[in-house]
Amino acid sequence: MSGCGGSGNSAGDSGTLRLVAAEYGDNQATSSKAFWDKVTADFTKTNPGIKVEVQLLPWADIDREVSRMVKSGNAPDMALMGSYSDFAAQDKLYSADELLSVTAEANFLQPLAEAGSVGNTLYGLPWVASSRLLFYNQGLFKQAGVSEPKTWSDLKSAAKALKEKGVKYPYALPLGPEEAHAEAMIWELSNGGGYADSSGNYNLASDQNILTFRWLKDNLVGPGLTGPVPPSQLNRADAFAAFTRGEVGMLNGYPQLLHEARAKGIDVRTAAMPVADNLGAGESPPAVGVADWMMAFKQHGKRVEIGKFLDFVYQDKNLTDFANRYHLLPSTVSASRNPSGAGLDSNDQFFLTALRGAQLYPVNDPSWVTVSDTIKRNIGRAVEPNGDPKTVLDEIAATANEASKKQH
């Protein structure tokens, strides 16, 4: 990684900042290293006294590794990863107003700024984001003689018709441990439910959520409309790979999958998630939004230097460059309004529109790390043949309440 050499011992060196960042690429050609090498070199050119060393870690390890660094008294100056609120709760982070100019702080898209705030204070600076839309394979839809579903009933009858035409996964339902919490939340929102109530408290076993999983179990999983792999064992990556092979009629996806599937010749269409029949087709529940967070640690007291670097890295051209590399959405109003050069294509614009009104996970609750892990590992059981949605959701809710108590 850039300047890996001395990252372990540079904590006390006032002229060097350490950033630990998640690796977004999946091979050497797509590694984030090229981006960070260029940005840090450009920054040091304009700020000759400050070097920035970047250490890239896999998504699977970064939360654990950064927590370990913080515990051992060797926090990085900055980290870019999927969660921030446990560090905010321990008072380890600078707030945005200690780091950024007022205009830079006001530039974050509203739903992202809200999810990055604990109380009314912004600690998690949103970096890139994505939203989820329903994807369907238009080629398979044509063969089955079905059109874009607007309600759950539409989705069910489309899945039936696809199954009759021999489609392997009429609707792919990835409730396996990789990212079950996204799929679960998409379905819950489309029935007026979700993970938290209007005042932000966990509401995991609400009546709506129980009804949602009952419907899935009885109408999609039971009749064999979700494919050969039980949903509790189907991971997102496998569902996405099957979609790019043309084996999936419908699934929930994000911008990168759209580009990958099109590159493989799949005629992909995107739509808003169909809604529960009792909500009526006129209703449009929020999409699920997902963001990654930049945070700055107070431990080494480098507030001024960190602020300079963040003001630089959040410039439109840098943020847009990073977002475009991975088909993600930039987190700021100006970068998403002003697609520089290559910019967002019209498909990405749909995702951006969805993101503006999206609902994010309750990432600003410090117990979310524990709660999301519990959801990932257990929610799939709610739709198993002998699973009972109410029992499973009650168990998850009990774990969430326990985790919440510990944090507060």
Q: Which helix (H) or strand (E) holds 17?
A: strand 16-22
Q: Does 276 score more than 60 pLDDT?
A: yes
- Report the range of poorest mean pLDDT among 105-109, 350-354, 391-395: 350-354
Span 69-76, average pLDDT: 95
Nearest partner of 171 among 181, 187, 185, 160, judged by Cα: 160
Share of the chain above pLDDT 90, in %: 78
pLDDT score of 340 more than 50 = no
Would you state the pLDDT for residue 406? 79
How would residue 14 be classed by pLDDT, with cut points 50, 70 and 90? low
Q: How confident is the model at residue 10 (pLDDT cuts 50, 70, 90)?
A: very low
Candidate ranges 29-33, 81-85, 166-170; pick with highest mean pLDDT: 166-170
For the chain, the average pLDDT equals 91
- For 60-72, the pLDDT digits (tens) are 789 889 999 999 9
The crossing angle, in degrees rounded to 10, of helices 368-378 and 180-189 is 90
**% helix / strand / coil in the chain, to the nearest 5?**
45, 15, 35
pLDDT beyond 50 at 9: no
pLDDT given for residue 280 in this prediction: 66
Tokens 């999609």, residue located: 220
Chain segment 281-322, per-residue pLDDT in tens: 567 889 999 999 999 999 999 999 999 999 999 999 999 999
Could you tell me the pLDDT band of residue 347, with boundaries at 50, 70 and 90? low
Distances in whole angstroms, Cα of residue 357 to Cα of each of 129, 353, 354: 13, 7, 6
CA count, 13 A, side-chain hemisphere, 375: 28
Spell out the domains of the chain, with CATH numbers in brackets.
Answer: 16-130+291-352 (3.40.190.10), 133-286+366-406 (3.40.190.10)
Q: How confident is the model at residue 342 (pLDDT cuts 50, 70, 90)?
A: very low
Q: What angle is formed at CA 36 by the lines to CA 31 and CA 42, rounded to 5 degrees?
A: 145
Torsion of CA 109, 112, 113, 118, to 10 degrees: 170
Give the pLDDT score at 348. 75
pLDDT tens figures, 174-197: 999 988 999 999 999 999 999 998
- Inform me whether the pLDDT recorded for 1 exceeds 80: no
Model confidence pLDDT, tens digit, residues 119-175 = 899 999 999 999 999 999 999 999 999 999 999 999 999 999 999 999 999 999 999
380-394: per-residue pLDDT in tens? 999 999 999 999 999
Residue 2, pLDDT > 60, answer no
> Encoding tokens for residue 135?
């994807």
Q: What is the pLDDT of residue 350?
A: 86
Listed range (212-221, 239-248, 272-281) with the worst mean pLDDT:
272-281
Q: Are strands 121-122 and 117-118 parallel, antiparallel or unpaired?
A: antiparallel
- In this prediction, residues 317-331 reach a mean pLDDT of 92
